[in-house]
Amino acid sequence: MTESSPAKIGLIGAGWWATANHLPVLAKRDDIELASVCRLGVDELLQVKNEFGFTHATENYRELLETPGLIGVIVASPHTLHFEHAMAALNKGYHVMCEKPLTTKATEARELVSEAERRGVQLVIPYGWHYSKFIQEAKRRMDQKSVGEIEYVMCHMASPIRSLLEGKQFLSTGGGAGDNMFEPEADTWADPEVAGGGYALAQMSHSAGLAFWLTGLEAQSVVALTSSPTSRVELYDAFSVNFKGGAIGSFSGAGALPDNQQFQLDVRIYGSEGVMTVDCDRAKLEILRHDGDNFSMKLDPDAGEYFGGGPTTNFADIVTRKNDMNWAPGWAGMRAIEMIDAAYRSVKLGRLVTV
């Protein structure tokens, strides 16, 4: 890429979210060339190619990776294919934005993060809340140890996606995307073989990624319960976690909010000097300290809404060399998957398991 030529990006997996969120953001930029797109289904593939002006289209992702001059790749394929597709792109030395969950297995997540570091490229996960100003302020203050040494973390998330997890038509208005070219495919959410799991992978990968990014903690052991009252994948999750260094935490999730509701996301971090509350659905950032030096950020009521375009813009800025700041780094997603993978093993074995 020269200073004046657009940066070439490829997309693997042009389904619901990629066409409703990522591609509209990229198509508006004159410094990005949508060089190649890959998805199954010839008619659907041509529809995406023509709608967004891709130079090339293929059903073979390895053919996409051979595109001359490619700099970055977005992976938005089904969960269980993330590792294969992201690793192949990283092996080529491309920057990668991989949809959450980063992978479905902890070992695979570690391999992706390690490969990105070895290649000297960025691995971004589309965690939209990381691009809210008050979340970035929370990260800045956590890096300054605003609550002292972390002792306990509480993280809860709930979403209006019961219909998706049950394999039914998606009715929610709470997803944050634009117009839909395609509807979500039921198998990618509701089939355990394709999705790899239920609510924890589908949505708690967001909240857990945020909690691990804010705290820098690493899960050491997990004991978990899940519930699947009306679906083949779990709708509800309850994890108790021991972290390296001695802190403990609880992570919960519910995929059963009414379809007309927005997400709930609440992270509370208790430390030796105080507690931080990060509440997205009620737009709140507050620090209460034992010494009385408290902090509360004035926020608009909608400040905590999911910012779907944030990660895509961040990735575009990285591949065009306008900014090298990665607000949703691969290691945060890796820490989330380490916990979720252990939680699923805990449910299967009925006991505490080590990460």
Given a cut of 60, is residue 210 above it in pLDDT? Answer: yes
Spell out the domain ranges in the chain: 7-128+311-329, 132-303+335-354
Instruction: Match 């699947």 to its residue by tokens.
Output: 228
Domain 132-303+335-354 annotated CATH 1.10.10.10 = no
353: CB partners within 8 A, 6+ apart: 221, 222, 223, 342, 345, 346
Q: Span 143-156, mean pLDDT?
A: 98
Quote the percentage of the chain above a pLDDT of 70. 96
118: CB partners within 8 A, 6+ apart: none
Query: What is the overall mean pLDDT for the chain?
Result: 95
320: CB partners within 8 A, 6+ apart: 1, 6, 7, 31, 32
Angle at 353 between CA 351 and CA 355, to 5 degrees: 160
Q: Span 296-309, mean pLDDT?
A: 95
DSSP string, 88-120: HHHHTT-EEEEPSSS-SSHHHHHHHHHHHHHHT
When the candidates are 3.30.70.2500, 3.40.50.2300, 3.40.50.720, 3.40.1160.10, the CATH number that belongs to 7-128+311-329 is 3.40.50.720
Give the C-alpha separation, 300 to 134, whole Å: 10
Helix axes 330-349, 205-215, angle to 10 degrees: 120
Q: Span 92-118, mean pLDDT?
A: 98
Give the C-alpha separation, 322 to 355, whole Å: 37
Q: What is the pLDDT of residue 177?
A: 45
Given a cut of 60, is residue 176 above it in pLDDT? Answer: no
Q: What is the CA radius of gyration of the chain?
A: 20
311: CB partners within 8 A, 6+ apart: 97, 124, 125, 126, 127, 128, 130, 131, 327, 328
What's the whole-model pTM score? 0.95
Instruction: Match 């309850």 to its residue by tokens.
Output: 238
Give the C-alpha separation, 237 to 54, whole Å: 40
Give the C-alpha separation, 168 to 349, whole Å: 30
Is residue 37 within 8 A of residue 10, CB to CB? The reply is yes
Q: What is the pLDDT of residue 230?
A: 96
**Cα atoms in the Cβ-side hemisphere of radius 13 Å centred on 177:** 21
134: CB partners within 8 A, 6+ apart: 278, 283, 285, 297, 299, 303, 304
Q: Span 221-246, mean pLDDT?
A: 98
Q: What is the pLDDT of residue 171?
A: 52
**Cα atoms in the Cβ-side hemisphere of radius 13 Å centred on 32:** 28
